[in-house]
Structure 1
Amino acid sequence: MPQGLRWGILGTGGIAASFAADLLANGLQLTAVGSRSQVSADEFAGRFGSPTAHASYEALASDPDVDVVYVATPHPFHEQNALLAIRSGKHVLVEKSFTVNEREAQAIADAAAAAGVVVLEAMWTRFLPHMVRIREIIAAGTLGDVRTVIADHTQKLPSDPAHRINAPELGGGALLDLGIYPVSFAVDVLGLPTRVIATSSPTETGVDRQTAIVLEHDGGRQSVLHTALDTAGPTAASVLGTEGRIDIDRIWYAPTTFRVIDSQQNVIEEFDHPVVSRGMQYQAWEFERVVASGEHESPLLPVAESVAIMGVLDEVRRQIGLVYPGE
């Protein structure tokens, strides 16, 4: 349940709006919003009832009535925005992907540790009820020896070259926006990989259009992952074990249903847990729990794991030849 942290939202784009709506729908406290313009801040604050609208990110970060800053800007700005909030003594929830690369992610982790504040990647999927139950089923041994994760995240997104998803300077491409989900899921289930194999095809603007990834994990276990930004696929996932499997329905990374099927193809559990609003409140609740308990990070997504996942994405990008400006 909420512990009463006062949330400030840095950025006023679509993901910020989704998060603000979920805060309000679930009794969490939105105190302030920060934008690069007063007009944008005022519009957002009016839409979501925020009592304070700041015309700069600096003003939001220094607001004494804000306890935690949610960084909702594009990937290339996560490091500077998170460090700005940390320097002001704020806890920080950073939208995924955590950063553009592992170096930036480590910089945030180090700064948060030095400042004694909590930092968490906003990989909201980790905290949803169906993912909590999936981890329980795996831990109970219901699937036997878990051998494989199969997951895709494919959407048909705007083809406009100027759109953020197609812009190299904004960290565009399928990988950081969409591919982060199946990679993070594979790490959640099987741990960090020991080997990465990736292939890709680019857009005309030079970002990855579609990318296929195979991860090898300890004990010869495998993840088979796919992401694309111009084809709407099943967006489903499965976890395969020697004694059964879990089939997660569309859209697997959002609140959804799943079935547990044994090795004789019998359905032994069906999960259907209705979720109020979009479901982003679960990461906020976990954040508030961590702060209230005095813990330094969430065991569901330790900051070192977020850093390591960025290292995996760095290796994928190295193999497919995707380099962002300024790197």
Structure 2
Amino acid sequence: MSEFEFPESRVPDPNAAPSLGWGIAGPGWIAERFADSLARHGSQRVTAVGSRSPSRAEAFASSRGLRAHGSYGELAAEPEVDVVYVATPHTAHLDVALAAIEAGKHVLVEKPFGINASEAERVAEAAKARGVFAGEALWTAFLPSYDVVRQLVRSGRLGELTAVVGDYGEHLPPGHRAYDPALAGGPLLDLGIYLLALATDLLGEPDRVLGLGTALGNGVNGQLSALLGFPSGAQAALTTTMRGFTPALLTVVGTAAALTLDGPFNSPGGLTVRTADGETHRWEGAPGSHVDGLHFQAAAVARAIADGRLETDERPLASSILALRVADELRRQTGIVFPGD
């Protein structure tokens, strides 16, 4: 069997990151997992939670020993909050992030960074003007497994990149907020944004975008596929759906080797490389849930802030904006309408 040497992950120990106080805006599903991840791993401290519903904030806070605030403004004014983690529904990301920035707080906005590129640009510009950190909580970009992927790609170990092929589908039951057109529903911003983010991170900005979508009865998109062409000649073939589970694999194809992240590709786990001679090689990473992986992004934010940086190297603001520009074009082609369009 031929040999293939994997690089070591360069992700620092999250316990070594400077400890910051975090305030959570929006006590929902992802906020619960973020708080639990920081409680179990690393050095970051969740100190407060805010919601437009005081009862929801209190329920979230009481079991975690946090201070509860009945508004996002009160949360942003909390002296022991250094960073506001924006975990509200997508359509509130812009307003909540801008309010926190105006209050002088750093912000980490749960993906997507906005519901369109214009919103993302507004948050980025506001943070720069205020001199505070802003970033997108696309947790995959901060995982040790994805750092190995980046190194393999950028060192040329895969050869010339020719394609990225990926799928991400989940069964989201009726009643899930993704079915609500007023909340920018559909799989694009919940699931598909991972595909667009990683494809553009690895291949750059596409010069051709083709989209095919399927609408549900209430006008919300239920399934979306995209074909992206890049100036290098590489292509990306991506599909996402909220009407059923798919393998959730991502394969990066090069002329010397192809790598596939274990499914679900956006979570902690391992990867397989198949070299041009047909041999397969494994990099083993422990599989895990959000609780096992969300703390890596918080530690990266803390390191950036301590270093005086206003964004992370792992997920620069320009990358977040680029992925949303591609999403905007896919929406234009497929007739997906979000609030404010």
TM-score, structure 1 length as denominator?
0.96
- CA shift digits 1:60-90 (9 cap, x unpaired): 0111111000000111110000000000000
- CA shift digits 1:159-210 (9 cap, x unpaired): 23xx311111001101111110100010111112111110000111211110
Runs of at least 5 residues in structure 2 that lack an aligned partner in the other structure: 1-15
Q: Which residue of 1 aligns with 2:62?
A: 46
Q: Which residue of 2 aligns with 1:197?
A: 210
Q: Distance in 2 between matches of 1:213 and 1:76?
A: 23
Q: Distance in 1 between matches of 2:215 and 2:191?
A: 15
Q: Distance in 1 between matches of 2:260 and 2:122?
A: 37
Q: Distance in 2 between matches of 1:268 and 1:178?
A: 28
Q: Distance in 2 between matches of 1:157 and 1:287?
A: 30
Matched, 1:319 2:333: yes
Following superposition, the deviation at residue 279 of structure 1 comes to 0.4
Q: Which residue of 2 aligns with 1:302?
A: 316
Q: Which residue of 2 aligns with 1:34?
A: 50
Q: Distance in 2 between matches of 1:205 and 1:28?
A: 42
The verdict on how the C-alpha distance between 1:48 and 1:218 changes in structure 2, with shifts beyond 3 A counting, is: farther
Q: Which residues in structure 2 correspond to 1:222-237 (within 5 Å)? A: 222-237=235-250
Q: Which residue of 1 aligns with 2:10?
A: none
Following superposition, the deviation at residue 100 of structure 1 comes to 0.9
Selected match of 1:239 from 252, 258, 278 = 252
Q: Which residue of 1 aligns with 2:124?
A: 109
Q: Is the 8 A contact 2:158 2:258 kept in 1?
A: yes
Matched, 1:86 2:101: yes
Q: Which residue of 2 aligns with 1:249?
A: 262
Segments of 4+ moved more than 6 angstroms: none
Q: Which residue of 1 aligns with 2:79?
A: 64
TM-score, structure 2 length as denominator?
0.92
Q: Which residue of 2 aligns with 1:172?
A: 185
Counting aligned pairs with the same residue, the percent is 41
Following superposition, the deviation at residue 112 of structure 1 comes to 0.3
State the aligned residue count.
Answer: 324
Q: Which residue of 2 aligns with 1:6?
A: 21
Q: Which residue of 2 aligns with 1:124?
A: 139
Following superposition, the deviation at residue 297 of structure 1 comes to 1.1
Q: Which residues in structure 2 correspond to 1:155-170 (within 5 Å)? A: 155-160=170-175, 163-170=176-183
Q: Which residue of 1 aligns with 2:293?
A: 279
Q: Distance in 2 between matches of 1:164 and 1:198?
A: 23
Selected match of 2:34 from 11, 14, 19 = 19
- CA shift digits 1:190-236 (9 cap, x unpaired): 11211111000011121111000011112111111000000111111
Q: Distance in 2 between matches of 1:11 and 1:173?
A: 20
Q: Is the 8 A contact 1:130 1:273 kept in 2?
A: no
Following superposition, the deviation at residue 274 of structure 1 comes to 5.6
Q: Distance in 1 between matches of 2:321 and 2:157?
A: 30
